[in-house]
Structure 1
């Protein structure tokens, strides 16, 4: 009986600590993330001759910084522009950490 009580207490403590360690990120909509990213791109000083649509795959680090994973372009100027403009930038309301987001961004 004594071992059973000890097992129950250990199971209770283990379960409690498991739920206490989970980080609660409020669900941020993709539209809000998109609005913040478009704002970053529009505030940049680089301009291109034509309007370019680029699909960017990114995630957020544990500090809330954007980590650019993939840019759907072969133009080196576009690649460097996206990486300089978005990579390691913090958003006010970042999304979930380590979740992959893909969105199309128009660059003018």
Structure 2
């Protein structure tokens, strides 16, 4: 599965849907963001339909980046039912993202 880059409208629809959503905030020119993409794609395959995955290009959607206080890239925010639950700033190992997603699914 490929991570889909979404626009502002798709982002709002995605995070306001019931359930868990994982959104990566990055840019095409960001090297750590490029390293993160296969990790998130792998997690998207693992979780299937139980978790929604998307990415936002902060250059294309600066309003959302400002609204979510994105100061560094990549930043991954995990939402449950439209509310941010956790924020991971910088490139992390796959296990860090999995831990946060699992905790969010259980909670």
Q: Which has the larger share of helix?
A: 2
When the two structures are superposed, what TM-score results if normalisation uses the length of structure 1? 0.29
Q: Which has the larger share of strand?
A: 2
